[in-house]
Structure 1
Amino acid sequence: MTEIVYVLTNEAMPGLVKIGCTQNDLAGRVRGLFQTGVPLPFEVFYACEVQDCKFVEKQIHDAFGDHRVSKSREFFRIAPERVKAALLIGAKAEIKIGDEIFEGLPDIKETASEMKAEVEAAKRRARFRLEMIGIKPGTELQLEKSPSITCKTLDENNQVEFGGEKLSLSRAALKAINSLGYNWDAVSGPWEWMYQGKRLDEIRREIEDEAD
């Protein structure tokens, strides 16, 4: 029996991750989650074998409890990289599955393709820009993980100066975080950089909530 804890993302649910566990069949679990009411299949951001998946799942849920969307659901508003970093502490081995988990289910693949196109269009319309939250060129931002690490905004389109380079907000965040000893492949710039003690993504959400 393989004890697995997983971190799932879904393009239809930006900013949210699902943290759960299963025994043996990760692919079957991912397929089973693609049901009516979920427009796109979940994608495995990270999954690993652990000694006791129920125990590890509970510890991770407790550790990130303040980011939980609902007490009765396994969804968290948090960067998936943070959850992966926590799981690496007790991981025995990484578990990977390929896109073939949906082979033989043409309706799912066709629907997913159509929905992804719609989601990508929506993401382009609502792509994060510094001007959305009133941040002007020349503003200093702090890295949430280590506020002594800073960058300076260069324009409204997420370009910043970091380490003497002109980089995108996300690229600068990735370099900054990996300089701390991490080995992440990707990060969300608006989630990792702060302004006046708040993540840029949090500021955006506050503004959007006020406008609703």
Structure 2
Amino acid sequence: MSKGVIYILTNPSFPAYVKIGYASDLQRRLRELNRSEALPYAFRAYATYDVDHRLTDKALHELIDQLNPDLRAIETFNGQKRTKEFFEMAPEEAYAILDAIARISGTEDRLHLVTPTGEQIEEEREALDAREASRRPPFRFSMVGIGPGEKIAFTGDPSVTATVVDDRRVEYDGVTTSLSALARRLLGRVSQVQGPLHFTYRGERLSDRRDRMEGGAERH
């Protein structure tokens, strides 16, 4: 008997979809999915359901297709129709289906909702800010009343500070760079990040400061 889990995965890169599949080793599956540097953010487990048979996830896919065939991600590539494990639904909706199955079958103890880590919560917020930022002008220090020579602190370690050089750049460790590039360096990431999310000025996160000041300007 091959035991494993049906998983519900989310990714901040495409918040409208969830990935539902089977894995005998979920952590190994996550490592496989997250190996590509083309993904801005990593897949993370939202929930799991313990199963005894490898093909159980296919039955779940068929059930979802019966409920709403338009939820499944399907594409045609080189003339071939490819059906994906992605479904256009909120993770809460996918979880509700597993929860109903668990309650009907009396296997509630097999269903597990995964608590996100602090880093995952931060990435969710970062992805949301990135989507909002795409509809707003790029961040400039003058937007938030910060001039050259002022100090900003890294949220991950407030003792790490950078000096504002001009409206878009900062100096750190003798190197002049953009806010986002410095955030990537300090976070140890290769994917794009939203710099204002990772620095504070006088104890206030730059992204929050921008929201506050732009919100105040809109009210006047």
Structure 1 length-normalised TM: 0.51
The whole-number CA distance in structure 2 between the counterparts of 1:148 and 1:44 is 28
SS in structure 2 opposite 1:150? strand
Deviation, structure 1 residue 175: 1.1
SS in structure 1 opposite 2:208? helix
Deviation, structure 1 residue 6: 1.2
Q: Where do 5+ consecutive residues of structure 2 fail to align?
A: 23-38, 50-94, 96-110
SS in structure 2 opposite 1:128? coil
The whole-number CA distance in structure 1 between the counterparts of 2:217 and 2:180 is 26
The whole-number CA distance in structure 2 between the counterparts of 1:6 and 1:48 is 6
* Counterpart in the other structure of 2:41: 45
Q: Does 1:78 pair with 2:125?
A: yes
* CA 1:44–1:144: 2 relative to 1, 3 Å: closer
The whole-number CA distance in structure 1 between the counterparts of 2:216 and 2:18 is 36
Amino acid at match of 1:205: D
Say which of 170, 186, 193 aligns to 1:176.
186
Deviations along 1:27-73, one digit per CA (max 9) or x if unpaired, are xxxxxxxxxxxxxxxx9832146882767755129x69x98xxxxxx
Q: Does 1:143 pair with 2:190?
A: no
Contact 2:162-2:171 within 8 A present in 1 as well: yes
Q: State the number of aligned residues.
A: 134
Contact 1:6-1:19 within 8 A present in 2 as well: no
* Counterpart in the other structure of 2:193: 187
The whole-number CA distance in structure 2 between the counterparts of 1:159 and 1:202 is 19
SS in structure 1 opposite 2:41? strand
Q: List 4+ stretches of structure 1 deviating above 3 A.
A: 18-22, 48-51, 53-58
Deviations along 1:123-179, one digit per CA (max 9) or x if unpaired, are 4xx1111000000000111000111111100001x211012111001111111222x
The whole-number CA distance in structure 2 between the counterparts of 1:194 and 1:56 is 36
Deviation, structure 1 residue 208: 1.6
The whole-number CA distance in structure 2 between the counterparts of 1:79 and 1:171 is 15
Contact 1:7-1:45 within 8 A present in 2 as well: yes
The whole-number CA distance in structure 1 between the counterparts of 2:19 and 2:113 is 10
The whole-number CA distance in structure 2 between the counterparts of 1:45 and 1:170 is 15
* CA 1:49–1:206: 2 relative to 1, 3 Å: closer
Identity, % of aligned positions: 22
Larger radius of gyration: 2
Structure number with higher strand proportion: 2
Q: Where do 5+ consecutive residues of structure 1 fail to align?
A: 11-17, 26-42, 68-75, 82-115
